[in-house]
Structure 1
Amino acid sequence: MMTTSTCETTSLTRIEVRRPASGGRCEVLLACSGSADRPLVRPMLLSSDEDGARVSLVPEGALLLAGDAVRIEVVVGPGAHLELVEPAGTVAYAMDGGCARWDVDVVVEAAAGLVWAGEPFVVAEGARVARRTRVRLGWEARLALREVLVLGRHGERPGVVEQDLVLLGAGDVPVLVESLQVGPDSSPLLLGARVMGTVTVVGERLPATTEGTRLDLEGRGTMVRHLADAAHLAVPHEAWAQARQLVRAICSSTRNCRPSALAR
């Protein structure tokens, strides 16, 4: 098990989107803070309207280095919609025995939707990273999440990564709990592949014809996964397009509902 005692919390990024009870354009709160000698992940507003917002997560410097600890908090209020995009991937560099953390805590409230288009997360040879993602979904909340994990840069062996994903439905009932530990000696767990691309949708199931290794979740949800030797081959493009379309279509049905009527 990875020792993380050398990691200290150095940056916090927070995104919150809410639909005002009186109507009108959504309220969008964007904030980030951290140590002056550490890079931040800065949220930048791309667009917003009465339904929600589109926000880009822009790293201000090289991430991740030994000692970096990035925390991202996301809140999507009742009936709102948020789309998060990443303009580039993230590289965890060799850490000379150190480690880094990447923690994500998401709350998607009643009848709200989150679409997060994650770019490749590269764990270079010599890196040691702990990634934790926890999502709490309210009543009739929807989620579309894309992740691409790359084990080592071209010609490298994998670094070490501990990756945990916890999705909780209404009442904190577990929807999906997954734990993955991969390093130079355990990469055969991925059948020799260097890249793992995953699309997870909660709130509706993807069509049965969707390509990729498929897991239908308890209730309404689907995880689709591809293994490949290159990032562009591992991304389940068809599944991602379908997931985005499903979430957006369902969220549009709440457009005429007041947030107060969605809370339960």
Structure 2
Amino acid sequence: MDGVTPATGVRATARIRAVDDGRGGTALPVLAGEGPLALRRTRGSGAEARVMLVGAMSGPLGGDHLAVEADVAANARLRVGSAAATIALPGQAKGEARYDVRLTVAEGAELQWLPEQLICAAGSELTVRTRVDLGVTSRLVLREEQVLGRVGEEPGRLTSRLTVRVGGRAVLDQELACGPGAPGGWDGPAGLGGHRAVGQLVVVRPEFAVRPVAARVLGEGAALMPLAGPAALVTAVAPDALRLRRLLDGALAELG
């Protein structure tokens, strides 16, 4: 159950479970949202089920702890998006806000995780943890986009960690810290280089284990790198969210 107190903020979890329906489609036996995390099924395509995450309240605010869990069973196909950007804001409760994403994709299943941008408004403190566990024949497209501050304002504080495991083996474990109070250099040439939008695209396909992608630059501010096993990573920085999306969309199109 979700809950909120002035001292602790909101605690809420949204849960999705997708399964092969045995008729060439995907069923959603679990589609449950709490508090500010509402889930809506939308029209799918072919065997794919589609779910939209709809923010029912502002947030996350300081002191909130929100989580989204998605479990894609064997041979199911799921695409998850969000209706609008998520905006982290300072709140009345003390402490940082937390946003946890836990994704599990079974053998032969596919997940496309494509939420809108996460914006860290001035004065906010947010920690995001995303963990993905896949089978060796799973398929994944995961996009993360983070924007530091709204137009014309200073950035909030963001700490983001992304972990991806394939067949129990870690293929990616990276952490980003930026904004006020982050370790020095986050905004320098070795960090964001003065940009305010940063994103990553993780693509996992079984065929990459046999034919790894080649490392290369994908236009100004973006690069493609092979990961261990059947995975590839695109990282990008840009002056704004629109340019960042164009870079990541272009990279996905190039991967085919």
Normalising to structure 2: TM-score of the pair? 0.83
Distance of 1:142 and 1:46 partners within structure 2:
21
Question: Which residue of 218, 222, 230 maps to 2:232?
Answer: 222
**CA distance in 2 between partners of 1:140 and 1:110 (Å):** 5
- 1:89 pairs, out of 82, 85, 100, with 85
TM-score, structure 1 as length reference: 0.80
For residue 160 of structure 1, report the CA deviation from its aligned partner.
1.2
Deviations 1:159-199 (A, max 9, x none): 111111110111x1101001112122544131221110221
Change (3 A) 1:8 1:32: farther
In the TM superposition, 1:126-205 aligns within 5 A as 126-170=123-167, 172-186=168-182, 187-188=186-187, 189-203=191-205, 204=208
Q: Which structure has greater strand proportion?
A: 2
- Asked whether the equivalents of residues 33 and 39 of structure 2 are also in contact (C-alpha less than 8 Å), the reply is no
1:114 maps to a residue whose letter is: L
CA deviations 1:81-132 (Å, max 9, x no partner) are 1111112100001236532111011100001111111211001111111101
Q: Which has the higher contact order (CA 8 A, sep 6+)?
A: 1
Once the two structures are TM-superposed, the CA of residue 69 in structure 1 deviates from its matched residue by 1.3
Alignment partner, residue 43 of structure 2 = 47
Which residue of structure 2 aligns with residue 26 of structure 1?
26
Number of the residue aligned with 2:103? 106
Aligned-residue CA RMSD (Å): 2.2
Q: Which runs of 5+ in 1 are unaligned?
A: 1-5, 247-264
> Corresponding residue for 1:237?
249
**Once the two structures are aligned, what percentage of the paired residues are identical?**
30
CA change 1:59–1:242 in 2 (3 A) is: farther
1:60 deviates by 0.6
| Equivalent-residue separation in structure 2 for 1:210 and 1:220 (angstroms) | 20
AA aligned to 1:239 is A
Q: Aligned partners of 2:101, 2:23: CA distance in 1, in Å?
A: 30
Task: Find the residue that maps to 1:190 and give its secondary structure.
Answer: coil
Provide the aligned length of Structure 1 versus Structure 2. Answer: 233
